[in-house]
Amino acid sequence: MLPIAVDAMGGDHAPSAIVAGAVRAARAGIPVCLVGDPERLRIGPGWPATLTVEPARDTIEMDERPIAVRARPDTSVRRTMAMVAAGRASAAVSCGHTGAILLAAVLELGTMDGVERPALATVLPRRDRGRLFLLDAGANVDCRPELLVSFARLGAAYACSEGVERPRIGLLSNGEEERKGNQQVRATLPLLRASGLHVVGPVEPTSALAGACDVVVCDGFVGNVFLKAAEGAVDTVVGLLREEILRYRTGRIGAFLLRGALRRFRRRAAWESTGGALLLGTRGTVVVGHGRARAPAVENAIRTAAQFARAGRLDALRHYLHR
């Protein structure tokens, strides 16, 4: 198997957390190629043989504008994408800033036929045990209605490639009534209804998470708020639960007996550990990790990329997009 190319310099805790996550993934049998400054990525004695380094002497800092990648082909994020484009890696992973990753991917990999701009897609657990495919989760803001319709097509193809038959598409809104929504939503709805996709109409976050649709489409600004509000609310609730449990002795005994359930619960509810979002619509598999990712989250993002690449999902996605 070709290695997963990992941008070692992108993310709040790069390169240390990225390297640590890559070592974990490599030990678990996934070949990984770290892309970055070779001075800061010297292979240590304990590194697994499945971990290699590809030099990239330039780095995009978190406070730079994404457009900066355009003139700098030797940045780690562009070299990461270039490895996939050259057939030297099976997928790319970066925890750097989303805008720079998007632009680097477009420059090095190009977009699929008929795709104007790639979208960031993330998968959330639904209350009915299904999965909610949310896009755009933060790659494009202030989108035209036509762009939202193309996100719906990408999302439908993604859901199909993941085994969802005839995915139901919802347009994120502040109410289920047609006359609700902002200008963007009201302008998009008729176009979406005319798209030939299985459109259920405007949906609210609550009903989407309860199972009203399989794919929820929105502007990247709004999608990012959706994702992070859900994440933040879960963190708050888990914190409250811990406090309540530790308050009394019966609670602590109960918690001891419950520890298995709580552990599984944490795993299922840990939105962050799901391993990053997929950039859909480029000619290659690109996983965008959380900017704040530590080693376990980096490892998960690499696992996500490897699974996607191994299963040939990109071909399936292309197939469903163009049929």
Each residue 299-318 as x (binds a second copy by CB under 8 A) or -, in order, gives --------------------
Buried b (16+ CB within 10 A) or exposed e, 124-158: bebeeeebbbbbbbbbbeebebebbbbbbbbbbbb
Pick between residue 15 and residue 181 the one whose CB is nearest to a second copy. Answer: 181
Pick between residue 241 and residue 311 the one whose CB is nearest to a second copy. Answer: 241
Contact flag: residue 12 with a second copy (CB under 8 A): no
Q: How far is the CB of 13 from a second copy (least distance, A)?
A: 16
Pick between residue 2 and residue 187 the one whose CB is nearest to a second copy. Answer: 187
- Residue list 18-37, contact with a second copy (CB under 8 A): none
Each residue 140-159 as x (binds a second copy by CB under 8 A) or -, in order, gives -xx-----------------
Report residue 217 CA to chain centroid gap. Answer: 15
Give the residue from 114, 15, 92 showing the smallest Cα distance to 278.
92
- Determine the Cα–Cα distance for residues 196 and 183; give it in Å rounded to an integer: 22
Size of site (CB under 8 A) for a second copy: 72
DSSP 167: P
- Residue list 236-275, contact with a second copy (CB under 8 A): 236-241, 244-245, 247-248, 250-251, 253-262, 264-265, 268-269, 271
Peptide bond into 12 cis (omega under 30): no
Angle between helices 183-193 and 145-161 (to 10 degrees): 60
Residue 133, token pair as written in the block: 């495919």
| Interface residue with a second copy, options 38, 110, 201, 231 (CB under 8 A) | 231
Q: How far is the CB of 37 from a second copy (least distance, A)?
A: 23
Span interacting with a second copy, options 1-9, 21-29, 203-211, 279-287, rule CB under 8 A: 203-211
Report residue 13 CA to chain centroid gap. Answer: 18
Instruction: Write phi, then psi, for 55 (nearest 5 degrees).
Output: -75, 140
Pick between residue 162 and residue 219 the one whose CB is nearest to a second copy. Answer: 219
Pick between residue 272 and residue 299 the one whose CB is nearest to a second copy. Answer: 272
Contact by Cβ (8 Å): 121, 134: yes
| Interface residue with a second copy, options 29, 190, 232, 312 (CB under 8 A) | 232
C-alpha separations of 168 from 177, 203, 281 in Å:
17, 11, 20
Helices (H), the chain: 16-27, 76-85, 98-109, 145-161, 183-193, 205-210, 220-247, 249-257, 259-269, 295-310, 313-322
- Using DSSP's 3-state secondary structure scheme, residue 26 falls into helix
Contact flag: residue 166 with a second copy (CB under 8 A): no
Contact flag: residue 206 with a second copy (CB under 8 A): yes
Contact flag: residue 174 with a second copy (CB under 8 A): yes
Each residue 57-96 as x (binds a second copy by CB under 8 A) or -, in order, gives -----xx-x-------------------------------
Pick between residue 48 and residue 201 the one whose CB is nearest to a second copy. Answer: 201
Residue 109, token pair as written in the block: 């990999």
Pick between residue 13 and residue 126 the one whose CB is nearest to a second copy. Answer: 126
Strands ordered across the beta sheet of 119-125: 51-55, 32-36, 4-7, 91-94, 286-288, 277-280, 119-125, 131-135, 215-217, 169-172, 199-203
Pick between residue 191 and residue 238 the one whose CB is nearest to a second copy. Answer: 238
Contact flag: residue 208 with a second copy (CB under 8 A): yes
Give the residue from 283, 311, 318, 309 showing the smallest Cα distance to 157.
318
| Interface residue with a second copy, options 40, 57, 88, 127 (CB under 8 A) | 127
| Interface residue with a second copy, options 73, 125, 145, 296 (CB under 8 A) | 125
